[in-house]
Structure 1
Amino acid sequence: MECKDVENKWQAYFDGTCSEEDEQLIDEHLNSCEQCQHRLQMEIGQQESQAIKEKSRIEHKSRVNGLPIKKQKQLLRRAKWKNRFTNAFTIFFLFIFTTLISGLLTGLYYGFGGEDGKAHQATQVVKTATEMTMPNVYLFDSTINIKAYFTAEIQMSIKKQLGGNSKTIGQLEGNMLLNKLTVNRDWYDGQYDLNLSFIHPYFSSNQLEEQIDLERTLHETWGTLEMLPEGTVAELVVSFDEQYDIQEVNDLLSDYDLDIVWYAINTGTEKDGTGYGSPYLTAGDDLFGIHDYAVFDYIEGGLTDSGGDGKREEAFKKGLKFLAENEQMTKSYMPFIDDNISLTERYRYAETHGVKSYGVVVTGPTKELFKLQENEAITYAVVGEVDFYNWNSAPTSGSIYY
């Protein structure tokens, strides 16, 4: 072969695709041609250099992307858990941070202003509305728990006086979210019986058809008190023949050994009845009054100083004004309050006409309450709860809650 012939078969020779005969002829030519030998050495060098580069590339790729499958999975799993931990830690940190900030803001929102703060205001609305619309019921031991995210909890004991003792009859729990108040009352007997009812003087003097029923009910009430044994105390609702000042009410009952615990007060609509054609007014109807415990919320010193009767009247007007100033919250707690006359109108009526009572809740020894049948000012009466005698004061008393 000549150099020209080898040139034409050079690539096939290196690829190993030429025939055996051509391969032998090319070998013979290379043995005798220095020029082609030099070219062969150059070609081999290039091939070796290329092979080294390819090997290096493969090794590098193997180190970066060509790790063993097991190793790749381990690294991938480790990266995933690291990301998960980082995300979880970030979320947890944000939750704690948000909770702390919201707790601080919630505390400022409800507590700012002291007694004028929203939490205290809501508590006072619940206390005042309860004590002014539910005969012989008052709230005690109030606690406020301010939480995060603009929520707060209100807890109070629901009590009444029976004889000489205060009796817990339920628990009240309120929840606040900003200005929205929801309240749940858990009565110990599962319910609050509406058996303490009043009759406005308008009905007892003008509704002749009702007088027979009123006289019969009054007769049955005195008969019940007469049958009850000596060693008992009871609560009794009495309604009067007309409206009296609180001082006049106390004078009417001053000769009896009993406690007046709640005064029914006229606010301008009671003579219209309940709206269902019934003259009986009770909790849940158009009934307002004043409890002695409410006096301590609105009058400094409560009833401990002189002028107790005037303080009750002043406390009633202040309490009614407070409810009028917070009418939306009051009606969310007491939705049964008549919408036909606003709390502001009731307050103005009391300011204009004075604080007049047409009935009271009294409690004391049963036989002492029975003596009230002699009082000509009483036109209607109904017995409430009865208990064993507890009229004498105990040397010490209290409760265990835990």
Structure 2
Amino acid sequence: MTDNKNDKGKDEELYKAYLMNSKQDFKESHALSEEEQRKIINVGRNTARNTTIMVSLAILLLIMPVMTLMTYMYYGFGGKANKLIDVVGKTLYVTEPNISLEEMEIESDIGLFSMHILFDTYKRIGQEDYKAENVDVYFGLDTPSQPKRISFLEKFPPKGYGDEFLKESQKMFHPEAEVPYHMNDEWSILQQLPDGTVAEAYISLSELMKSDDLNNLFPKEIEIRWLAVDTGLEAKQVDGEGVPITPIGYPAQIDTTTWSPFNGRDQTNEEVFMDILSLLEKNEQTAEMVSTAKSLEIKERRNYLKDNGINIYGAVITGPTPELRKLEQVKEIRALKVGEVKLWNWK
């Protein structure tokens, strides 16, 4: 019996020895060099990185359509995009003399939480409309940025602010405002232009007038395009903080195109003008960004008009150059500034 125990003990020791040898042999046969271990670690790291990138891309691909859809919903809900387009267009009608739009050509490009409003403006010279500018207004949600403008005019519009901007941009002047250029120089320009041309001219009156009375100043060969309205600030030409103001006014003629706010269907141009000011007062940040001058003071000017009525201090006119020369003899005209000039297109 003792022998059996001894035999059993020897067997266990042999088995343990066998296991130890096998384990040692396994370690030696499966041992990895430092370089091999580094490669395995790098493969694992790259696999993890690639997996993270793929997961991130998948998430982005899922999120982008959702965010784009949310943007379309933001601008579409309640007609926000159409409202912004309406504010931009009407701002130009009342702050840019002799400028019109083709509403059917206004485009909106909606991006990620943003929208571009793209359109062309037109200026009447003689009896034809010429492209004036290509305008791109960017909105981050409903906050506008400075519009990008490409001018097609021969006389490029001025840029900047302050006294120099005021001097260059103002072409019509209140009876109490100083005219910063010599009248003889502008009449001389008209005299030197060929008879076979048509021109645009900015007229400043010696006194405030009603729009109906203004029609009697000009011969029938001259067309009145835009009326500059006295709003109580034009004598100083700046707001209370000294920032230059832009003239505001409205088209003198009925625009028969259906999309124009001044189409004459239900209201006079004066009534449409006052309605537009009411709209701009509620959206003054957008209006000031779109207009060339950065102070509109809509509320103050609108209140002045309600108390004092609409009186005209200037106008934009166009017609054959020989007819414009005759205006030098009209005593009610205190100043004239020549605008764009084109070859004869008068019918």
Do the aligned partners of 1:217 and 1:382 also contact (CA within 8 Å) in 2?
A: no
Give the alignment partner of residue 274 of structure 2, picking from 317, 327, 330. Answer: 317
Q: Percent identity?
A: 24
Deviations along 1:224-280, whole A, 9 cap, x unmatched?
323311111111111223222323323433x3212222110111221234479xxxx
Matched, 1:247 2:212: yes
* Closer/same/farther in 2, CA of residues 294 and 112 from structure 1, 3 Å limit: farther
2: CA distance, partners of 1:131 / 1:300: 9
Distance 1:134 1:252, change over 3 A: same
Partner of 2:77: 112
Pairing 1:49–2:15 present:
yes
Out of 238, 248, 256, the position equivalent to 1:288 is 248
- Cα distance in 1 between the residues matched to 2:109 and 2:273: 28
Q: Does 1:135 align with 2:101?
A: no
In structure 1, which of residues 68, 86, 101 is the aligned counterpart of residue 66 of structure 2?
101
Superposed CA deviations along residues 295-342 of structure 1, whole A, max 9, x for unmatched, are 78999774365x8xx621012111111111112333344484447xx3
Secondary structure at the counterpart of residue 235 of structure 2: helix
Q: Which amino acid aligns with 1:315?
A: V
Distance 1:58 1:248, change over 3 A: farther
SS of 1:183's equivalent in the other structure is: coil
**Kept after mapping to 1: 8 A contact 2:171/2:337:** yes
Letter in 2 for 1:258: I
1:201 equivalenced with 2:175 (yes/no): yes
- SS of alignment partner, residue 157 of structure 1: strand
Distance (Å, rounded) in 1 between the aligned partners of 2:213 and 2:33: 101
Give the greater-gyration-radius structure (CA): 1
Any unmatched runs of 5+ in structure 1? 1-33, 204-209, 277-282, 393-402
Equivalents in 2 of 1:53, 1:69: separation in Å? 27
Match of residue 300 from structure 2: 345
Amino acid in the other structure paired with 1:325: K
Shift of 1:55: 4.4
Q: Which structure's residues are more often helix, by fraction?
A: 1
Q: What is the alpha-carbon distance in structure 2 between the residues aligned to residue 297 and residue 147 of structure 1?
A: 31
Q: Is the 8 A contact 1:265 1:288 kept in 2?
A: yes
Q: 2:147 aligns with which of 169, 184, 188?
A: 184
Give me the whole-angstrom Cα distance separating, in 2, the residues matched to 1:76 and 1:274: 71
Question: What displacement does 1:163 show?
Answer: 1.8
d(CA) in 1 for partners of 2:201, 2:89: 23
| 1:380 aligned residue (316, 319, 335) | 335
Pick closer, same or farther for the CA change 1:250–1:317 going to 2, 3 Å: same
Match for residue 158 of structure 1 among 108, 116, 121? 121
Contact 2:237 2:244 in 1 (8 A): no
Partner of 2:162: none
TM-score, length basis structure 1: 0.70
Aligned length: 333
**Matched residues in 2 for 1:224 and 1:360: separation?**
19
State whether structure 2 residue 297 is matched by structure 1 residue 331.
Answer: no
| Matching residue within 303, 317, 322 for 1:362 | 317
Q: 1:54 to 1:162 in 2, by over 3 A?
A: same
Alignment of 1:68-87 (within 5 A): 76=41, 79-87=44-52
**Which amino acid in 1 is paired with 2:110?**
I
Instruction: Measure the CA separation in 2 of the matches of 1:57 and 1:173.
Output: 77
Q: CA distance change for structure 1 residues 104 and 60 in 2, over 3 Å: closer, same or farther?
A: farther
In the alignment, the residues of structure 2 paired with residue 56 and residue 316 of structure 1 have an alpha-carbon distance, to the nearest angstrom, of 100
Query: Residue 51 and residue 380 in structure 1: after superposition, are their counterparts in 2 closer, same or farther (change >3 A)?
Result: same
CA shift digits 1:81-102 (9 cap, x unpaired)? 4433321221112112221111
Contact 1:196 1:382 in 2 (8 A): no
Residue 71 (structure 1) shift: 7.3
Cα offset for 1:356? Answer: 1.8
The whole-number CA distance in structure 2 between the counterparts of 1:298 and 1:314 is 17
Tell me the SS of whatever aligns to 2:263: coil
1:222–1:370: 8 Å Cα contact kept in structure 2?
Answer: yes
- What is the distance in 1 between the residues matched to 2:25 and 2:255? 93
- Which of these residues, 186, 195, 199, is aligned with residue 221 of structure 1? 186
Q: 1:221 to 1:38 in 2, by over 3 A?
A: closer
Q: How far has the Cα of 1:345 moved from its partner?
A: 2.1
The answer to which structure, 1 or 2, has the higher relative contact order (CA under 8 A, 6+ apart) is 2
SS in 1 for 2:138: strand
Kept after mapping to 2: 8 A contact 1:133/1:287: yes
